[in-house]
Structure 1
Amino acid sequence: MNFPTFALNEKVALITGGSKGIGFGMAVALGEYGAKVVIASRGLQDLEKAKEQLEGRQIDVKIFQVDVTKKEQVEELVQNIVKEYGKLDILVNNAGMNIRKPLVEVEEADWDQVITTNLKGIFLMGQAAAKQMIKQKSGKIINISSILGSIGFSMQTSYAASKGGINQLTKVWADELAPHGITVNAIGPAYIKTPMTEEWLADESRYSEIVNNTMLKRVGNLEDLAGPVVFFASEASNYVTGQVLNVDGGWTAK
């Protein structure tokens, strides 16, 4: 019996929103397992800082300043990666944002900004990567969703809508792309300690509510996401597609 490997040597992995937070943590994980890492984000300063940190870990990394809501930029990004490496093996479709407001206070501009970034951006990036992976007849697409794509939680109207959409895109793409040797899965984290959630988690009553909803009685950290993303990126997940893996300390199982 030949056991599959988790090693990612010589694999090329693109992580959008990879300059900080969850995206950066996943870039570290994939790089530590041997992947050549490409991180893309809108902020050049954050990208350069992340590049320095990744290189400090002896990770092969390249950076691209890209707005994933712009089709031309997304397609150019994939073309540049293929020009540099000859292929794209792994996409971690992570770029996203949130605006937390009660339903009656959500402005139309708030809705548009979140949905455009979190759902249109995921679509455009997935489409561009899929075109290249179909040519290769191989690839791994990992969409970053959230437990809020499947549960209700106040102040999350547009964010939850976008993440629910990501869950459905994951299933549709898995069905479409399976004949081409491409798997598509999603990771749905609960609350993870990152700069994006720092202020939100600083509220003691809210933090207590989150911990009390979690079987493991703690908030997640970036290390908790390393195993799932490496699994989905590696040969070990070759027979897994169309799945949403909630990394949530047991929240959604209650």
Structure 2
Amino acid sequence: MADSSAGKPLVGKKAVVTGGNKGIGESISLALAEKGADIAIVARDTDSAQNVIKKVRSERRFCKVYPTDLNDPASVRKSAKQILEDMGRVDILVNNAGMSQLESLIDFSEDNWDRTMNVNLKAPFILSQEFARGMIERKSGKIIHISSVAAIHAVDEHAAYCVSKAGLCMLTKMMALEWGPYNIQTNAIAPTVVWTEMGQRVWGAPEKHEPMLARIPAHRFVKPEEVADLTVFLAGPGSDMICGQTIAVDGGLTTH
């Protein structure tokens, strides 16, 4: 009789994916489920998660969406508590959800700055802290932050986004430093423009995407599945000695 877990290194693992209902997050949720993980989706828009839930459950994996306002720390903590009650533990955390507010630095409002920091940096900190307690007890865990090459290269009118993503990369190093001794591997993925619906909306116009493509040696943008594939690797046993790293998925953009 064939082993149904063959090729599924994440069987029995419990994974949380923020923004796992669409775009990059959808690809990550589906890729983790395909390798055997149960999935908790943290998202504000629960309706758009239903299609992902259906696909994950077709893999005979647990999947549930937890409505969460990542701009509200109380909402984030409430969801973390409910996830632990439902799943029992979290083995893999993928902090994928993010937002970007396009404004010139001189005109950037405090409200927009705070909202961007809350969603892109504070929510990942809170969720990591909540789930790391159990990981420390079990001496096992994987935390993966979806950052951006904007953490390394400044992008015009993306001040809060760039700063928050840079903060996420340093948070990755701090978690690796403090939690690495407990066999918790924390890493970040830094893609360039990912060709999702949102990516196409922001970068679809030729005058926007052509100058960016000219800077990428591969001369194309990233497919969401390419981010998901790296996430699966970092969530699995083959990455146990990779810790505290920010890995660019950018077709060579950061060689400049």
Using structure 2 for the length normalisation, give the TM-score.
Answer: 0.91
Q: Which runs of 5+ in 1 are unaligned?
A: none
Counterpart code for 1:151: H
Partner in structure 1 of residue 80 of structure 2: 78
Residue-by-residue CA offset, 1:80-106 (whole Å, 9 max, x unaligned): 333333221000011211111222332
Is the contact made by 2:113 and 2:160 (CA closer than 8 Å) also made in structure 1?
A: yes
Q: Does 1:64 align with 2:69?
A: no
Structure 1 residues 172 and 110: alpha-carbon distance in aligned structure 2, compared to 1, 3 A threshold: same
Structure 1 residues 82 and 108: alpha-carbon distance in aligned structure 2, compared to 1, 3 A threshold: closer
Partner in structure 2 of residue 206 of structure 1: 208
Separation in 1 of the partners of 2:81 and 2:123?
Answer: 17
RMSD: 1.7
- Give how far 1:132 is off: 2.0
- Give how far 1:79 is off: 3.0
Separation in 1 of the partners of 2:61 and 2:206?
Answer: 37
Q: Does 1:97 align with 2:99?
A: yes
Partner in structure 2 of residue 7 of structure 1: 9
Residue-by-residue CA offset, 1:89-136 (whole Å, 9 max, x unaligned): 000011211111222332222212111211111111111111221122
Residue-by-residue CA offset, 1:123-150 (whole Å, 9 max, x unaligned): 1111111122112221000011000001
Percent identity of the aligned residues? 33
Is the contact made by 2:222 and 2:250 (CA closer than 8 Å) also made in structure 1?
A: yes
Which one of the candidate residues 113, 116, 125 is aligned to 1:114?
116
Partner in structure 2 of residue 218 of structure 1: 220
SS in 2 for 1:43: coil
SS in 2 for 1:219: coil
Partner in structure 1 of residue 4 of structure 2: none
Counterpart code for 1:126: S
Separation in 1 of the partners of 2:21 and 2:99?
Answer: 14
Counterpart code for 1:97: M
Partner in structure 2 of residue 250 of structure 1: 252
- Give how far 1:6 is off: 7.0
Counterpart code for 2:227: L
Which one of the candidate residues 153, 166, 177 is aligned to 1:164?
166
Partner in structure 2 of residue 176 of structure 1: 178
Structure 1 residues 6 and 177: alpha-carbon distance in aligned structure 2, compared to 1, 3 A threshold: farther
SS in 2 for 1:197: helix
- Give how far 1:239 is off: 0.6
Partner in structure 1 of residue 145 of structure 2: 143
When structure 1 is superposed on structure 2, of 60-69 and 222-231 the one drifting more is 60-69
Is the contact made by 2:30 and 2:55 (CA closer than 8 Å) also made in structure 1?
A: no
Q: Does 1:195 align with 2:197?
A: yes
Equivalent pairs, count? 250
Structure 1 residues 57 and 6: alpha-carbon distance in aligned structure 2, compared to 1, 3 A threshold: closer
Which one of the candidate residues 24, 27, 36 is aligned to 1:25?
27
Which one of the candidate residues 36, 51, 54 is aligned to 1:52?
54
Q: Which runs of 5+ in 2 are unaligned?
A: 1-6
Is the contact made by 1:69 and 1:121 (CA closer than 8 Å) also made in structure 2?
A: yes
